[in-house]
Structure 1
């Protein structure tokens, strides 16, 4: 298997940094509510950019690295969509004006990149020095999958944020109204923070929690820190536009959380199997690798990830359609009933006259 050239890695990071800076400047200079068409074009642009990047990896490093990037990118993309659910809740809970939401989301994305970058560096060092960390990563992902599917993980995150925000309000003066994207404002001659501070803290806390899941998940697909980081960058780029594109559709993707939970559980099992395959713990099999533990290939992982997301999305849309039709039929069933009652009332009224 070929290795990625240094110039390719450095050049990729430079280009990605320039794109992120351009995106940030666009938000700062022209804050607005993006239209459906604009959001669609940006999302398509970033998806195509990721696919072009995977083709370049195929050319310069071979199919294995390209497959790892695609599988990692799709995994991080699915987890980023899950992140959007919480962003929607935060925006609604704190009544963030629609025009400010682009800027708030951009701050959230930058915070997510910062946290994930830190965890990538830590994770890479742990993996390099301690192979048994795969056991911990695997167990953590399986537990996260259980939370995702059965324990209302988003609600737990909200409760944690709520406690933090209540403590903050007791110690810091916060105005009732926003002053654009400013962190501080003056009310009746007194300087105080605006509610945007609470929004940033809530989003930052969310980003931190999701980074704890997403980084072990992608390290279950590849141990290349470069692929891990670029997959995260490509997954987060376009997230702001995706927020406006999906809009109310997020609420209709009822089964998406189960698809994500399945992916996390699958990667968790894969990590545990890998840990067994390279086992060095003295109290497990005498410190020797467990030969019968299978290694799940990148392409199998990619197939499972795509299948889980497709099944969850299609099932959600079918459920939404069935529910909509059911509500429509109930309404139509009620209309003849009320019409018949009205007709009978009219007949009785005519008979009396």
Structure 2
């Protein structure tokens, strides 16, 4: 398939149109998307991305189709990992829930712009110096090792909100302490101030730049066609905002996602180095001649990436650690929901809420102590939520003249052992 300037123009117009549609119809009015809204639009954007790949099959360009899907899957997985960091940043700035999708859309737009710049620079470097694949491969192996080290040692906690761009922004203009709707600037006593909304966008923009250092080399390891690199990256970012709200509760359950991404980055790093050896021009390696090594075909790369992602998700959801996290999260979630029931809630609704709360509380109490210590970040808050819910239930039962089974852990003076 010939990549013409017309094709580039149509593709860019399509992506810009999708972004404008999001800005005009989805985030102009601050609101929290419903699960149904998030599911529908996530499916729409994923569908568009998958249909786009079929275009290559339609014209008989199987090679580019496989490269596109391999790149799309890799970039999508890395984008989901980015959502974890976005979550940390927004929690650090205490972004109100209804404003989060505007922050996310800004992050996606900035990522698209910054990664497009990286793609153009990367393509120019590859054209001028093919041995840059050695550097790309080593960079990915270092990133994979660093990510794996962070998981194994637990040294992952960084204040993503406290970076140099945020500190610079606050020096240029004084910051206001509170959000003023979703405005970026406000005036207090005639003085122009930046709001936390602008600061969180600056923090996410700075973090996006760091993400590009593993994202772009990774996809160049699967294809050297700039058009494929751009479209796979762009479509992987589109719909990320809706996906965030759709899998909000699931994000934390992907406990082994970092291991999977480390494996993918390591695999692509090795693939890049093999490719560099096969096309070697460095005089100190095999006297500047090509090294006869076997390269990994792109269709094999696609299968490897799919298998790694599938195994990662299944292990995250069904391993003992994944099941423990699910029990702890659901115990907290359904306990909190119970306390929010209206006093005049129907008896059946209250009974169903009690049943779910009891079931998951019991499951949480059976979680191994090592998982409790590792998975519960704010133990006092967690215990208070559980205790309050069951005390509310006990008071409700006593008022109704009935007996409610309550866990011994929950009525202890110092809170539950969870």
TM-score, reference length from structure 2:
0.75
8 Å Cα contact 2:88-2:160 kept in structure 1: no
Residue 59 of structure 2: SS of its match in structure 1? helix
Matches within 5 A, 1:270-281: 270-281=271-282
Instruction: Tell me what 2:73 maps to.
Output: 74
Match of 2:348?
none
User: What are the Cα deviations for residues 2-26 of structure 1, in whole angstroms up to 9, with x where unaligned?
Assistant: 4345544432222222122112212
Residue 330 of structure 1, CA deviation? 6.7
8 Å Cα contact 2:175/2:194 also seen in 1: yes
Hey, what does 1:39 align to over in structure 2?
38
* Long gaps (5+) in structure 2: 329-360, 368-404, 410-418
2: distance between equivalents of 1:109 and 1:31?
17
* Pair 287,218 (structure 1): closer, same or farther in 2 beyond 3 Å: same
Aligned length: 336
CA offset digits 1:60-88 (Å, max 9, x no partner):
25111000000000000000001000011
Tell me, yes or no, if the aligned pair for 1:157 and 1:206 is still in contact at 8 Å: no
Give the equivalent residue in structure 2 for 1:346. Answer: none
Closer/same/farther in 2, CA of residues 73 and 220 from structure 1, 3 Å limit: same
Q: TM-score, normalised by structure 1?
A: 0.88
TM-fit CA distance, 1:328: 3.2
Q: Which residue of 1 aligns with 2:290?
A: 289
CA distance, structure 2, for counterparts of residue 97 and residue 329 of structure 1: 31
Which structure is higher in helix share? 1
Residues 114-148 of structure 1 show CA distances to partners (whole Å, capped at 9, x for unaligned) of 11000000000011110110000000000111111
> How far apart in 1 are the matches of 2:219 and 2:407?
56
The 1:271/1:183 distance shift into structure 2, 3 A limit, reads: same
8 A Cα contact 2:280 2:288, kept in partner: yes
| Runs of 4+ off more than 4 Å | 152-157, 322-327, 335-339
Q: How does 1:1-353 map to 2 (within 5 A)?
A: 2-4=1-3, 6-151=5-150, 158-159=158-159, 161-164=161-164, 165-166=166-167, 168-169=169-170, 172-291=173-292, 293-319=293-319, 320-322=322-324, 324=326, 328-329=362-363, 331=365
Q: Give the gaps of 5 or more residues in structure 1.
A: 340-353
Alignment correspondent of 2:338? none
Secondary structure at the aligned position of 2:296 is classed as coil
- Contact 2:3–2:227 at 8 Å: present in 1 too? no
CA distance 1:133–1:156, change in 2 (3 Å): farther
CA contact (8 A) 1:146 1:261 kept: yes
Are the equivalent residues in 2 in contact too, given 1:5–1:60 (CA < 8 A)? Answer: no
Aligned 8 A contact 2:161 2:200 in 1: no
Greater relative contact order (CA < 8 Å, ≥ 6 in sequence): 1
User: For 1:214 and 1:55, how far apart are their aligned partners in 2?
Assistant: 23
* Counterpart-to-counterpart distance in 1, 2:42 and 2:406: 45
8 A Cα contact 1:178 1:195, kept in partner = yes
